[in-house]
Homo-oligomer: A and B are copies of this chain.
Protein backbone atom coordinates (compact mmCIF):
# COMPACT_ATOMS: atom_id res chain seq x y z
CA UNK A 1 0.00 0.00 0.00
CA UNK A 2 2.87 2.30 -0.87
CA UNK A 3 0.38 4.22 -3.04
CA UNK A 4 -1.81 5.12 -0.07
CA UNK A 5 1.18 5.94 2.13
CA UNK A 6 2.34 8.44 -0.46
CA UNK A 7 -1.13 10.01 -0.60
CA UNK A 8 -1.20 10.18 3.19
CA UNK A 9 2.17 11.91 3.40
CA UNK A 10 1.23 14.46 0.74
CA UNK A 11 -2.08 15.13 2.48
CA UNK A 12 -0.29 15.81 5.77
CA UNK A 13 1.98 18.30 4.00
CA UNK A 14 -1.05 19.89 2.37
CA UNK A 15 -2.83 20.17 5.71
CA UNK A 16 0.20 21.89 7.22
CA UNK A 17 0.07 24.54 4.49
CA UNK A 18 -3.69 24.96 4.66
CA UNK A 19 -3.63 25.37 8.44
CA UNK A 20 -2.08 28.80 8.06
CA UNK A 21 -3.46 29.93 4.71
CA UNK A 22 -5.30 33.24 5.28
CA UNK A 23 -9.03 33.27 4.57
CA UNK A 24 -8.74 35.91 1.83
CA UNK A 25 -6.25 33.76 -0.06
CA UNK A 26 -8.50 30.72 0.27
CA UNK A 27 -11.35 32.69 -1.29
CA UNK A 28 -9.21 33.86 -4.23
CA UNK A 29 -8.16 30.29 -4.87
CA UNK A 30 -11.74 29.02 -4.71
CA UNK A 31 -12.65 31.60 -7.33
CA UNK A 32 -9.82 30.49 -9.61
CA UNK A 33 -10.76 26.84 -9.06
CA UNK A 34 -14.33 27.66 -10.13
CA UNK A 35 -13.01 29.33 -13.29
CA UNK A 36 -10.75 26.39 -14.08
CA UNK A 37 -13.67 24.02 -13.71
CA UNK A 38 -15.65 25.97 -16.29
CA UNK A 39 -12.67 26.06 -18.64
CA UNK A 40 -12.31 22.28 -18.33
CA UNK A 41 -15.93 21.68 -19.28
CA UNK A 42 -15.16 19.77 -22.48
CA UNK A 43 -12.63 17.39 -20.97
CA UNK A 44 -14.97 16.75 -18.01
CA UNK A 45 -17.93 16.04 -20.27
CA UNK A 46 -15.84 13.73 -22.46
CA UNK A 47 -14.71 11.79 -19.41
CA UNK A 48 -18.25 11.69 -18.08
CA UNK A 49 -19.46 10.26 -21.38
CA UNK A 50 -16.98 7.38 -20.92
CA UNK A 51 -18.49 6.65 -17.49
CA UNK A 52 -22.03 6.96 -18.85
CA UNK A 53 -21.35 4.55 -21.72
CA UNK A 54 -19.83 1.97 -19.43
CA UNK A 55 -22.72 2.38 -16.99
CA UNK A 56 -25.33 2.03 -19.72
CA UNK A 57 -23.57 -1.08 -21.00
CA UNK A 58 -23.77 -2.52 -17.49
CA UNK A 59 -27.50 -1.73 -17.41
CA UNK A 60 -27.40 0.95 -14.69
CA UNK A 61 -30.88 2.16 -13.69
CA UNK A 62 -32.23 5.47 -14.99
CA UNK A 63 -32.11 7.01 -11.50
CA UNK A 64 -28.45 6.19 -10.99
CA UNK A 65 -27.58 7.23 -14.54
CA UNK A 66 -29.14 10.60 -13.80
CA UNK A 67 -26.94 10.99 -10.72
CA UNK A 68 -23.88 10.10 -12.74
CA UNK A 69 -24.63 12.39 -15.68
CA UNK A 70 -22.95 15.76 -16.10
CA UNK A 71 -23.86 18.54 -18.52
CA UNK A 72 -22.86 22.19 -18.91
CA UNK A 73 -25.55 23.30 -16.44
CA UNK A 74 -24.34 20.87 -13.80
CA UNK A 75 -20.73 21.94 -14.22
CA UNK A 76 -21.83 25.55 -13.89
CA UNK A 77 -23.67 24.61 -10.76
CA UNK A 78 -20.52 22.99 -9.34
CA UNK A 79 -18.58 26.19 -10.05
CA UNK A 80 -21.34 28.29 -8.49
CA UNK A 81 -21.20 26.04 -5.43
CA UNK A 82 -17.50 26.78 -5.01
CA UNK A 83 -18.17 30.51 -5.25
CA UNK A 84 -20.95 30.26 -2.67
CA UNK A 85 -18.60 28.48 -0.29
CA UNK A 86 -16.01 31.21 -0.86
CA UNK A 87 -18.62 33.77 0.21
CA UNK A 88 -19.29 32.05 3.54
CA UNK A 89 -17.57 33.19 6.70
CA UNK A 90 -14.25 31.47 7.39
CA UNK A 91 -14.73 29.22 10.42
CA UNK A 92 -10.99 29.01 11.15
CA UNK A 93 -9.45 31.18 13.84
CA UNK A 94 -12.58 32.01 15.80
CA UNK A 95 -11.79 32.08 19.52
CA UNK A 96 -14.70 30.40 21.29
CA UNK A 97 -13.66 31.65 24.71
CA UNK A 98 -10.56 33.00 26.38
CA UNK A 99 -9.99 33.70 30.02
CA UNK A 100 -7.31 34.52 32.53
CA UNK A 101 -6.77 31.84 35.15
CA UNK A 102 -5.90 32.75 38.74
CA UNK A 103 -2.23 31.97 38.05
CA UNK A 104 -2.15 34.53 35.22
CA UNK A 105 -2.28 32.02 32.37
CA UNK A 106 -4.47 33.26 29.54
CA UNK A 107 -6.24 30.22 28.09
CA UNK A 108 -8.31 30.31 24.93
CA UNK A 109 -10.08 27.77 22.78
CA UNK A 110 -9.59 28.46 19.10
CA UNK A 111 -11.25 26.91 16.08
CA UNK A 112 -8.73 25.23 13.75
CA UNK A 113 -8.96 22.87 10.76
CA UNK A 114 -9.30 19.14 11.40
CA UNK A 115 -6.31 18.42 9.17
CA UNK A 116 -6.92 15.68 6.62
CA UNK A 117 -10.51 14.75 5.76
CA UNK A 118 -11.27 11.55 3.86
CA UNK A 119 -14.54 11.31 1.97
CA UNK A 120 -15.98 8.11 0.54
CA UNK A 121 -18.92 8.55 -1.79
CA UNK A 122 -20.88 6.96 -4.58
CA UNK A 123 -21.14 7.66 -8.28
CA UNK A 124 -22.13 11.35 -8.01
CA UNK A 125 -19.36 13.37 -9.62
CA UNK A 126 -20.72 16.67 -8.33
CA UNK A 127 -19.76 15.57 -4.81
CA UNK A 128 -16.12 15.76 -5.92
CA UNK A 129 -16.21 19.53 -6.32
CA UNK A 130 -18.62 20.15 -3.43
CA UNK A 131 -16.59 18.14 -0.93
CA UNK A 132 -13.36 19.77 -2.04
CA UNK A 133 -14.85 23.27 -1.64
CA UNK A 134 -16.06 22.65 1.91
CA UNK A 135 -12.82 20.96 2.98
CA UNK A 136 -10.68 23.68 1.43
CA UNK A 137 -12.63 26.58 2.90
CA UNK A 138 -12.41 24.99 6.34
CA UNK A 139 -8.64 24.56 5.92
CA UNK A 140 -8.54 20.80 5.45
CA UNK A 141 -6.66 18.68 2.95
CA UNK A 142 -9.11 16.36 1.20
CA UNK A 143 -8.59 12.80 0.10
CA UNK A 144 -11.53 11.66 -2.01
CA UNK A 145 -12.60 8.14 -2.86
CA UNK A 146 -15.52 8.31 -5.28
CA UNK A 147 -17.58 5.48 -6.71
CA UNK A 148 -15.90 3.34 -9.37
CA UNK A 149 -18.66 4.11 -11.85
CA UNK A 150 -17.61 7.76 -11.88
CA UNK A 151 -13.85 7.24 -12.02
CA UNK A 152 -13.26 9.04 -15.33
CA UNK A 153 -15.46 11.98 -14.40
CA UNK A 154 -13.81 12.31 -10.98
CA UNK A 155 -10.35 12.12 -12.49
CA UNK A 156 -11.17 14.93 -14.95
CA UNK A 157 -12.73 17.12 -12.25
CA UNK A 158 -9.85 16.62 -9.83
CA UNK A 159 -7.32 17.31 -12.59
CA UNK A 160 -9.01 20.64 -13.28
CA UNK A 161 -9.21 21.56 -9.59
CA UNK A 162 -5.57 20.60 -9.04
CA UNK A 163 -4.47 22.70 -12.00
CA UNK A 164 -5.96 25.77 -10.34
CA UNK A 165 -4.43 24.85 -6.98
CA UNK A 166 -1.00 24.51 -8.59
CA UNK A 167 -1.37 27.90 -10.27
CA UNK A 168 -2.22 29.27 -6.84
CA UNK A 169 1.10 27.93 -5.54
CA UNK A 170 -0.35 25.08 -3.53
CA UNK A 171 1.02 21.55 -3.79
CA UNK A 172 -0.85 18.44 -4.79
CA UNK A 173 -1.45 17.40 -1.16
CA UNK A 174 -4.38 19.82 -0.85
CA UNK A 175 -6.72 17.62 -2.91
CA UNK A 176 -6.14 14.04 -3.91
CA UNK A 177 -8.27 11.38 -5.52
CA UNK A 178 -7.75 7.72 -4.74
CA UNK A 179 -7.46 6.72 -8.36
CA UNK A 180 -8.31 3.06 -8.00
CA UNK A 181 -11.36 0.87 -8.26
CA UNK A 182 -9.75 -1.90 -6.18
CA UNK A 183 -11.83 -2.73 -3.12
CA UNK A 184 -8.69 -3.66 -1.20
CA UNK A 185 -7.45 -0.08 -1.61
CA UNK A 186 -10.71 1.24 -0.18
CA UNK A 187 -10.41 -1.17 2.75
CA UNK A 188 -6.87 0.05 3.50
CA UNK A 189 -7.94 3.67 3.07
CA UNK A 190 -10.37 3.23 5.98
CA UNK A 191 -7.48 2.21 8.23
CA UNK A 192 -5.14 5.14 7.54
CA UNK A 193 -5.24 6.41 11.12
CA UNK A 194 -1.76 7.88 10.82
CA UNK A 195 -2.87 10.23 8.09
CA UNK A 196 -6.63 10.76 8.19
CA UNK A 197 -8.25 12.79 10.96
CA UNK A 198 -11.78 11.86 9.99
CA UNK A 199 -13.61 9.84 7.38
CA UNK A 200 -17.03 10.94 6.12
CA UNK A 201 -19.12 8.54 4.06
CA UNK A 202 -21.66 10.16 1.75
CA UNK A 203 -24.18 7.88 0.18
CA UNK A 204 -26.73 5.17 0.86
CA UNK A 205 -27.24 3.13 3.99
CA UNK A 206 -25.10 0.24 2.71
CA UNK A 207 -22.04 2.41 2.13
CA UNK A 208 -22.41 4.07 5.51
CA UNK A 209 -22.77 0.76 7.35
CA UNK A 210 -19.66 -0.59 5.64
CA UNK A 211 -17.58 2.45 6.55
CA UNK A 212 -18.76 2.43 10.19
CA UNK A 213 -17.92 -1.27 10.47
CA UNK A 214 -14.61 -1.32 8.62
CA UNK A 215 -13.02 2.01 9.45
CA UNK A 216 -10.58 2.44 12.31
CA UNK A 217 -10.32 6.15 11.46
CA UNK A 218 -12.95 8.20 13.34
CA UNK A 219 -16.10 8.32 11.22
CA UNK A 220 -18.94 10.78 11.07
CA UNK A 221 -22.01 8.78 10.29
CA UNK A 222 -24.40 10.60 8.00
CA UNK A 223 -27.65 9.95 6.48
CA UNK A 224 -30.36 7.47 7.19
CA UNK A 225 -33.60 9.02 8.33
CA UNK A 226 -36.64 7.11 9.51
CA UNK A 227 -38.37 10.40 10.36
CA UNK A 228 -41.68 10.43 12.25
CA UNK A 229 -44.46 12.96 12.48
CA UNK A 230 -46.69 12.61 15.53
CA UNK A 231 -50.21 14.00 15.28
CA UNK A 232 -51.27 14.80 18.81
CA UNK A 233 -54.89 14.67 20.02
CA UNK A 234 -54.86 18.47 20.15
CA UNK A 235 -53.35 18.96 16.69
CA UNK A 236 -54.64 21.42 14.14
CA UNK A 237 -55.57 18.69 11.67
CA UNK A 238 -55.33 20.87 8.57
CA UNK A 239 -51.82 21.88 9.60
CA UNK A 240 -50.97 18.22 10.21
CA UNK A 241 -52.21 17.32 6.72
CA UNK A 242 -50.09 20.02 5.10
CA UNK A 243 -47.00 19.05 7.07
CA UNK A 244 -47.28 15.33 6.40
CA UNK A 245 -48.03 15.89 2.72
CA UNK A 246 -44.97 18.12 2.45
CA UNK A 247 -42.68 15.85 4.42
CA UNK A 248 -43.81 12.69 2.65
CA UNK A 249 -44.25 13.78 -0.95
CA UNK A 250 -42.04 16.88 -1.39
CA UNK A 251 -39.11 14.64 -2.29
CA UNK A 252 -39.33 10.97 -1.38
CA UNK A 253 -35.70 9.96 -1.85
CA UNK A 254 -34.17 12.23 0.79
CA UNK A 255 -33.19 11.47 4.38
CA UNK A 256 -35.38 14.18 5.93
CA UNK A 257 -38.58 12.90 4.27
CA UNK A 258 -41.28 11.55 6.60
CA UNK A 259 -41.42 7.76 6.61
CA UNK A 260 -43.67 7.10 9.59
CA UNK A 261 -46.63 8.82 11.09
CA UNK A 262 -47.78 8.32 14.66
CA UNK A 263 -51.27 9.45 15.61
CA UNK A 264 -53.22 9.75 18.84
CA UNK A 265 -56.21 7.42 18.61
CA UNK A 266 -58.60 10.18 19.65
CA UNK A 267 -58.17 11.79 16.23
CA UNK A 268 -57.33 8.75 14.09
CA UNK A 269 -60.91 8.19 12.88
CA UNK A 270 -61.28 11.78 11.76
CA UNK A 271 -57.81 12.34 10.42
CA UNK A 272 -56.84 9.17 8.58
CA UNK A 273 -59.58 9.30 5.89
CA UNK A 274 -58.58 12.91 5.18
CA UNK A 275 -54.93 11.81 4.99
CA UNK A 276 -55.79 9.02 2.56
CA UNK A 277 -57.67 11.49 0.35
CA UNK A 278 -54.74 13.88 0.39
CA UNK A 279 -51.98 11.34 -0.23
CA UNK A 280 -53.98 9.45 -2.88
CA UNK A 281 -53.14 12.30 -5.23
CA UNK A 282 -49.47 11.21 -5.00
CA UNK A 283 -50.31 7.47 -4.99
CA UNK A 284 -48.80 7.06 -1.55
CA UNK A 285 -49.26 3.60 -0.10
CA UNK A 286 -50.22 3.74 3.58
CA UNK A 287 -49.48 0.83 5.92
CA UNK A 288 -50.99 0.96 9.37
CA UNK A 289 -51.63 -0.98 12.55
CA UNK A 290 -55.07 -2.47 13.31
CA UNK A 291 -56.72 0.74 14.47
CA UNK A 292 -55.37 2.65 11.49
CA UNK A 293 -56.71 0.03 9.07
CA UNK A 294 -60.09 0.29 10.77
CA UNK A 295 -60.15 4.05 10.26
CA UNK A 296 -59.85 3.78 6.48
CA UNK A 297 -59.82 0.69 4.36
CA UNK A 298 -57.34 2.20 1.90
CA UNK A 299 -54.76 1.61 4.65
CA UNK A 300 -52.97 -1.74 4.33
CA UNK A 301 -51.80 -3.78 7.34
CA UNK A 302 -48.24 -2.94 8.44
CA UNK A 303 -45.81 -5.54 9.71
CA UNK A 304 -43.32 -5.08 12.54
CA UNK A 305 -40.68 -4.46 9.88
CA UNK A 306 -42.49 -1.36 8.63
CA UNK A 307 -41.85 0.57 11.84
CA UNK A 308 -38.11 0.59 11.23
CA UNK A 309 -38.17 1.21 7.47
CA UNK A 310 -36.63 4.16 5.64
CA UNK A 311 -38.72 3.63 2.49
CA UNK A 312 -37.33 6.51 0.39
CA UNK A 313 -40.48 5.87 -1.63
CA UNK A 314 -44.19 6.75 -1.82
CA UNK A 315 -45.00 4.66 1.26
CA UNK A 316 -45.95 5.81 4.76
CA UNK A 317 -46.44 3.75 7.91
CA UNK A 318 -49.08 4.75 10.47
CA UNK A 319 -48.98 3.77 14.13
CA UNK A 320 -51.85 4.69 16.46
CA UNK A 321 -51.09 5.38 20.12
CA UNK A 322 -53.12 5.93 23.28
CA UNK A 323 -50.89 8.63 24.71
CA UNK A 324 -47.94 10.94 24.17
CA UNK A 325 -45.87 8.53 26.28
CA UNK A 326 -46.57 5.73 23.87
CA UNK A 327 -45.76 7.98 20.92
CA UNK A 328 -42.42 9.01 22.43
CA UNK A 329 -41.52 5.42 23.29
CA UNK A 330 -42.38 4.24 19.76
CA UNK A 331 -40.37 6.98 18.09
CA UNK A 332 -37.35 6.57 20.36
CA UNK A 333 -37.41 2.85 19.66
CA UNK A 334 -37.61 2.96 15.87
CA UNK A 335 -36.12 6.26 14.78
CA UNK A 336 -32.65 6.67 13.33
CA UNK A 337 -31.86 9.82 15.29
CA UNK A 338 -32.50 12.14 12.36
CA UNK A 339 -35.62 14.38 12.45
CA UNK A 340 -38.91 13.99 14.31
CA UNK A 341 -41.92 16.29 14.54
CA UNK A 342 -45.02 16.75 16.66
CA UNK A 343 -48.13 18.58 15.47
CA UNK A 344 -49.92 19.89 18.54
CA UNK A 345 -51.68 22.85 20.13
CA UNK A 346 -50.74 21.67 23.62
CA UNK A 347 -47.88 23.57 25.27
CA UNK A 348 -46.91 20.78 27.66
CA UNK A 349 -46.93 18.10 24.99
CA UNK A 350 -44.77 20.25 22.72
CA UNK A 351 -42.23 20.76 25.51
CA UNK A 352 -42.18 17.09 26.44
CA UNK A 353 -41.70 16.03 22.83
CA UNK A 354 -38.78 18.45 22.42
CA UNK A 355 -37.17 17.21 25.64
CA UNK A 356 -37.75 13.49 25.42
CA UNK A 357 -37.25 12.62 21.77
CA UNK A 358 -33.71 11.55 21.03
CA UNK A 359 -32.87 12.86 17.57
CA UNK A 360 -30.65 15.38 15.80
CA UNK A 361 -33.58 17.69 15.07
CA UNK A 362 -36.92 17.82 16.86
CA UNK A 363 -39.76 19.96 15.49
CA UNK A 364 -43.00 21.39 16.76
CA UNK A 365 -45.52 22.18 14.04
CA UNK A 366 -43.17 22.09 11.07
CA UNK A 367 -42.07 19.71 8.35
CA UNK A 368 -39.05 17.47 8.95
CA UNK A 369 -37.85 18.50 5.49
CA UNK A 370 -36.17 21.58 7.01
CA UNK A 371 -33.25 19.53 8.38
CA UNK A 372 -30.74 20.85 5.91
CA UNK A 373 -27.64 23.03 6.10
CA UNK A 374 -28.99 25.87 3.98
CA UNK A 375 -32.43 25.83 5.66
CA UNK A 376 -30.64 26.09 9.03
CA UNK A 377 -28.63 29.04 7.71
CA UNK A 378 -25.24 27.30 7.42
CA UNK A 379 -24.93 28.12 3.72
CA UNK A 380 -23.69 24.67 2.70
CA UNK A 381 -23.49 21.22 4.16
CA UNK A 382 -21.24 18.20 3.84
CA UNK A 383 -23.98 15.90 5.15
CA UNK A 384 -26.37 15.36 8.02
CA UNK A 385 -24.85 13.59 11.00
CA UNK A 386 -27.04 11.07 12.78
CA UNK A 387 -24.41 10.25 15.38
CA UNK A 388 -23.86 12.12 18.59
CA UNK A 389 -20.12 12.66 18.64
CA UNK A 390 -18.57 15.81 17.18
CA UNK A 391 -21.48 16.88 15.01
CA UNK A 392 -25.19 16.15 15.09
CA UNK A 393 -27.60 17.26 12.40
CA UNK A 394 -26.64 19.31 9.32
CA UNK A 395 -22.87 19.74 9.10
CA UNK A 396 -21.58 23.00 7.73
CA UNK A 397 -18.10 24.47 7.70
CA UNK A 398 -17.80 24.63 11.50
CA UNK A 399 -18.36 20.91 11.74
CA UNK A 400 -15.27 20.42 9.56
CA UNK A 401 -13.12 22.05 12.23
CA UNK A 402 -11.79 21.11 15.63
CA UNK A 403 -10.39 23.31 18.37
CA UNK A 404 -6.99 23.89 19.91
CA UNK A 405 -6.20 25.41 23.30
CA UNK A 406 -3.78 28.32 23.04
CA UNK A 407 -2.14 29.33 26.30
CA UNK A 408 -0.21 32.56 26.88
CA UNK A 409 2.06 32.43 29.91
CA UNK A 410 4.93 34.35 31.39
CA UNK A 411 6.87 31.58 33.04
CA UNK A 412 4.12 29.70 34.91
CA UNK A 413 5.00 26.30 36.32
CA UNK A 414 2.61 23.91 38.01
CA UNK A 415 3.05 23.68 41.78
Q: Which A residues fall within an 8 A CB radius of B?
A: 16, 19-20, 99, 101, 105, 107, 114-115, 193, 197-198, 212-213, 216, 218-220, 236, 239, 242-243, 245-247, 250, 332, 354-356, 358-367, 369-371, 375-377, 387-390, 392-393, 402-414
Q: 3 tightest CB-CB pairs across the interface, nearest first?
A: A366-B409, A246-B413, A388-B402
Q: Could you tell me if A105 and B356 are in contact, using CB atoms closer than 8 angstroms?
A: no
User: What residue in chain B is nearest A110 (Cβ atoms)?
Assistant: B354
Q: In the complex, A372→B233 CA distance in Å?
A: 51
Given contacts A16-B356, A402-B392, contact A407 B361 (CB under 8 A): yes
A361 partner residues in chain B, CB cutoff 8 A: 404-405, 407
A332 partner residues in chain B, CB cutoff 8 A: 16
Q: Could you tell me if A404 and B362 are in contact, using CB atoms closer than 8 angstroms?
A: yes
Q: In this complex, which of A105, A239, A410 has the most chain B Cβ atoms within 10 angstroms of its Cβ? A: A105
User: What residue in chain B is nearest A250 (Cβ atoms)?
Assistant: B414
Q: Could you tell me if B360 and A404 are in contact, using CB atoms closer than 8 angstroms?
A: yes
A376 partner residues in chain B, CB cutoff 8 A: 101, 107, 405
Within the complex, the shortest CB–CB distance from A171 to chain B, in Å, comes to: 15
- Interface SS of chain A: mixed
Within the complex, the shortest CB–CB distance from A343 to chain B, in Å, comes to: 9
Q: Could you tell me if A366 and B412 are in contact, using CB atoms closer than 8 angstroms?
A: yes
Q: Could you tell me if B411 and A366 are in contact, using CB atoms closer than 8 angstroms?
A: yes
A409 partner residues in chain B, CB cutoff 8 A: 363-366
Within the complex, the shortest CB–CB distance from A236 to chain B, in Å, comes to: 7
Q: Could you tell me if A377 and B115 are in contact, using CB atoms closer than 8 angstroms?
A: no
User: What residue in chain B is nearest A371 (Cβ atoms)?
Assistant: B405
A and B contact pairs by CB, cutoff 8 A, 6 listed: A16-B358, A101-B376, A242-B413, A364-B409, A392-B402, A392-B405
Contact of A366 among B105, B245, B246 (CB under 8 A): B105
Name 8 extra pairs, CB < 8 A, besides A115-B388, A243-B413, A366-B411: A16-B332, A105-B366, A107-B377, A218-B219, A245-B413, A360-B405, A361-B404, A393-B403
A406 partner residues in chain B, CB cutoff 8 A: 354, 362
A359 partner residues in chain B, CB cutoff 8 A: 404
Contact of A364 among B16, B197, B407 (CB under 8 A): B407
Q: Could you tell me if A411 and B236 are in contact, using CB atoms closer than 8 angstroms?
A: yes
Q: In the complex, A412→B371 CA distance in Å?
A: 12
Q: Could you tell me if B19 and A356 are in contact, using CB atoms closer than 8 angstroms?
A: yes
A387 partner residues in chain B, CB cutoff 8 A: 197, 218
Q: Could you tell me if B105 and A389 are in contact, using CB atoms closer than 8 angstroms?
A: no
A218 partner residues in chain B, CB cutoff 8 A: 218-219, 387-389
Within the complex, the shortest CB–CB distance from A110 to chain B, in Å, comes to: 8
Given contacts A393-B405, A402-B389, A404-B362, contact A414 B369 (CB under 8 A): yes
Q: In the complex, A203→B380 CA distance in Å?
A: 39
Q: Could you tell me if A198 and B412 are in contact, using CB atoms closer than 8 angstroms?
A: no
